[in-house]
Structure 1
Amino acid sequence: MNPALQGLITIIIGVGGCIGYFYFSNQILDKVLFPPQGKDAGRNINRANMIRPWLFLFPAIFALGLYLGYPVIETLRLSLTDRSAGGAFVGLANYSQMASEPKFWEAMRNNMLWLIVVPAIATAFGLLAAQLTDRISWGNVAKSFIFMPMAISFVGAAVIFKLIYDTRAANQEQIGVLNALWLAFDGGAGSFIVLRLLPAVILLGFAALMAYIIYLLVTAMLPKGAGRSTGTWWSVPLRLIIVLAAAWMIWLSLKSAVSVFTATLPYGEPQTWLTIPFYNNFFLMAVLIWIQTGFAMVILSASLRGIPEETIEAAILDGANPFQIFFKIKVPQIMGTIVVVWTTITLVVLKIFDIVFAMTNGQWETQVLANYMYDKLFRASDWGVGSASAIVIMLLVMPILVWNVYNARKEMR
């Protein structure tokens, strides 16, 4: 059957089935189970109205249970069994085996690196793009170009960037954009500015930003008068964790800035970028940042436009400059939206699979948890360890989901 015709039939059956379900279920409810007639007419109407919402919710609840609830329970069961032993119960043996494998800890380390870099950079670029595009006349056109990568699948984007990182022999013409640029440097002043000075400035700027974040968090934890509340009980430990993470990133940034100046760069030699340990992870992250920046920009642009003009006008009258208006007036008012965008991208990062699978398949120290799970389930046919890694991913995602639901309900109240 022609795929187009098959798709059309599927749509007709799906839509027709939904319409038929809602129509006939209401008919049975009103005409058979609780008919609005006789001496119990009023009670039947009330009962029907109590059941009717559940009729509408049942398809969604059934689908969620079938495609989300059941797989979670079955995955948990499989993680406690051994396929080679005929599905026998082995307790936490699969988790113990997983924890003993270096590839699992490599995947955990890389996932943590992705969690630190991708949400921060994608959100920052999205916020910057939202602010700048709203200040120019052709901002909508610019937004369209920035948002366009969102229409590309992760695999498609990975193929595009794989061509950008492509490597040919030194005596051949380079079709990879990055290698073509790399070979343009020969160790002169341009090489020093672009490959040493500029990266060092970016790293030092990032370190300064982390230091400013530490300053804000520390000052927020210091008491400013008797009886001043510092917030909820978990806010102080959370801030301390962020302070320690920021301090660690400052150390890494300074260490990297020094290594940029001391490293010996192989000028004139094409580089296989995706095989360079540690740095190849950042080349993979660039793909997801490129995609998610458009999403962050659209959400944050709408939030920026919702800021009351009175607050900005008052700041201008008080003599605030554009930077003060942006960082001290606008950003605090949209902090809730920034956090939502950050956590949404974090969820995407925790489940990242397509980009790594299409570009490196987890080789050269680029393994991530989802790709590790795929290798165990479909390559090694080890459903126990594969299901255990899936449970680990779910446990990492769960706190963020709970936190998002908690904040959404708090805003509704």
Structure 2
Amino acid sequence: MGRVLTADTNAGKFGLMIAAILLFAAVVGIILFLATLFRGKLADRLTAYFYLLPTLLMLAVGLVYPGVRTIFQSFFDAAGNSFIGLDNYQTIFGDSEQLKVLGNTVIWVLVTPFVATAIGLVYAILVDKSKFESFAKALVFLPMAISFVGASIIWSFVYAYRPDQANVKQIGLLNQIVVWLGGTPQNWLLINWLNTLLLIIVLIWIQAGFAMTILSAAIKAIPDDIIEAARLDGVSTWGMFRFITLPAIRPAVVVVLTTIAIGTLKVFDIVRTMTGGQYGTSVIANEFYSQSFRSGNQGLGAALAVILFIMVIPIVVYNVRQLKRSEAL
């Protein structure tokens, strides 16, 4: 008997790819054909609408519908059968463990964007126009090329702990430094007041390179005549940064801060890889995964997703307003 062409076979996958290409070509052809039926200024506007229609359709299917469905599901029980109103939200804001998750998420958002941006900005200023600028920037940008999971594994070795015994050597860099200094090695990721900050360091390590790259480009875009005029006026180094550099790169700083903040709100890989959300380190994205796919509580998982969405909205709105303001200048 012949093999059936399904998506599980190579021939089936190839057939699906060809079908997708043909479908795309057919959609573009239909749009072009409809655009030729009109003339004048109306034709340009309708052509734009025709091209936007497939995008809007895909957004509706891939974003709007799942979003509305998630909001709707957040008002139902774990199985998604019985309507329970705001009970899931009451659980989130009334349960101590869920409040811990919200608190951890707030700590991530308050610390990561500002520290990563500050490190990137200071580094960009220090290496600007130096002899080893390219090499120095490459060192900081390198973590950006590593996946979150890969970075988490690297830092898991940094924080690795072995019992403090005579014949046991520490393999974790942090604990080995502690031993060299005469201290006692610790299982760092089990310390509740510290472990969340240790996980945050991993994301800062990754995002500092992104901040440095964007801000370095913004610094180089400052006109040389402005810098020379400030130096001729005897402006100090701090004054140069405060009154020249920082105001000039303010739109870039806002973009970097908001971009890192949105990424921080969605952080999942680092927490899942290093602690699994245990020991008081869980965040909203990880808790959403745990409730939805491990505990089978679809309602509570959907409510957590809605809260995460609500937390992202103010950052996006602020970013859009700042971009519009910078374009108007």
- TM-score normalised over the length of structure 1: 0.72
Distance change (3 Å), C-alpha of 1:337 and 1:46: closer
Looking at structure 1, the residues matched to 40 and 58 of structure 2 have their Cα atoms a distance apart, in angstroms, of 28
Look up the match of 2:308.
Answer: 393
% same residue? 37
8 A Cα contact 1:95 1:388, kept in partner: yes
Look up the match of 2:3.
Answer: none
Equivalent residues in 2 for 1:8-23, closer than 5 Å: 14=20, 17-23=23-29
Looking at structure 1, the residues matched to 309 and 53 of structure 2 have their Cα atoms a distance apart, in angstroms, of 25
Looking at structure 1, the residues matched to 131 and 194 of structure 2 have their Cα atoms a distance apart, in angstroms, of 38
How far off is 1:59 after superposition?
2.5
Look up the match of 1:290.
Answer: 205
Distance change (3 Å), C-alpha of 1:362 and 1:83: closer
Look up the match of 2:295.
Answer: 380
How far off is 1:8 after superposition?
7.6
User: In the alignment, which of 51, 55, 69 is matched to residue 56 of structure 1?
Assistant: 51
Distance change (3 Å), C-alpha of 1:142 and 1:107: same
Equivalent residues in 2 for 1:224-235, closer than 5 Å: none
Look up the match of 2:172.
Answer: 176
- Residue type of the alignment partner of 2:81: G
Looking at structure 1, the residues matched to 239 and 86 of structure 2 have their Cα atoms a distance apart, in angstroms, of 54
Looking at structure 2, the residues matched to 4 and 312 of structure 1 have their Cα atoms a distance apart, in angstroms, of 60
Looking at structure 2, the residues matched to 56 and 77 of structure 1 have their Cα atoms a distance apart, in angstroms, of 31
Q: Is 1:155 aligned with 2:70?
A: no
Look up the match of 2:115.
Answer: 121
How far off is 1:324 after superposition?
2.2
Distance change (3 Å), C-alpha of 1:360 and 1:87: same
Equivalent residues in 2 for 1:230-245, closer than 5 Å: none
Distance change (3 Å), C-alpha of 1:99 and 1:56: same
8 A Cα contact 2:254 2:319, kept in partner: no
Looking at structure 2, the residues matched to 356 and 65 of structure 1 have their Cα atoms a distance apart, in angstroms, of 31
Looking at structure 1, the residues matched to 301 and 8 of structure 2 have their Cα atoms a distance apart, in angstroms, of 37
8 A Cα contact 1:307 1:333, kept in partner: yes
Distance change (3 Å), C-alpha of 1:156 and 1:89: same
User: In the alignment, which of 283, 293, 296 is matched to residue 368 of structure 1?
Assistant: 283
Distance change (3 Å), C-alpha of 1:172 and 1:13: farther
CA RMSD in angstroms comes to 2.3
Look up the match of 2:244.
Answer: 329
Look up the match of 1:75.
Answer: 70
Distance change (3 Å), C-alpha of 1:46 and 1:308: closer
- TM-score normalised over the length of structure 2: 0.90
- Residue type of the alignment partner of 1:21: V
User: In the alignment, which of 45, 65, 71 is matched to residue 60 of structure 2?
Assistant: 65
Looking at structure 2, the residues matched to 160 and 2 of structure 1 have their Cα atoms a distance apart, in angstroms, of 35
| SS across alignment from 2:66 | helix
How far off is 1:173 after superposition?
2.0
Q: Is the radius of gyration larger for structure 1 or structure 2?
A: 1
8 A Cα contact 1:103 1:367, kept in partner: no
Looking at structure 2, the residues matched to 169 and 294 of structure 1 have their Cα atoms a distance apart, in angstroms, of 35
User: In the alignment, which of 138, 151, 158 is matched to residue 144 of structure 1?
Assistant: 138
- Residue type of the alignment partner of 2:169: E
Q: Deviations over 1:212-248 (max 9, x none)?
A: xxxxxxxxxxxxxxxxxxxxxxxxxxxxxxxxxxxxx
How far off is 1:346 after superposition?
0.8
Distance change (3 Å), C-alpha of 1:59 and 1:87: same
Looking at structure 2, the residues matched to 152 and 72 of structure 1 have their Cα atoms a distance apart, in angstroms, of 30
Q: Is 1:89 aligned with 2:83?
A: yes
Looking at structure 2, the residues matched to 16 and 164 of structure 1 have their Cα atoms a distance apart, in angstroms, of 51
- Residue type of the alignment partner of 1:273: W
Looking at structure 1, the residues matched to 13 and 142 of structure 2 have their Cα atoms a distance apart, in angstroms, of 26
Look up the match of 2:191.
Answer: 276
Distance change (3 Å), C-alpha of 1:326 and 1:279: same
Look up the match of 1:135.
Answer: 129
User: In the alignment, which of 267, 271, 274 is matched to residue 359 of structure 1?
Assistant: 274
Look up the match of 2:4.
Answer: none
Looking at structure 1, the residues matched to 41 and 258 of structure 2 have their Cα atoms a distance apart, in angstroms, of 42
Looking at structure 1, the residues matched to 23 and 270 of structure 2 have their Cα atoms a distance apart, in angstroms, of 37
How far off is 1:276 after superposition?
0.9
Q: Is 1:26 aligned with 2:32?
A: yes
Distance change (3 Å), C-alpha of 1:16 and 1:325: farther
How far off is 1:321 after superposition?
2.4
Looking at structure 1, the residues matched to 287 and 271 of structure 2 have their Cα atoms a distance apart, in angstroms, of 10
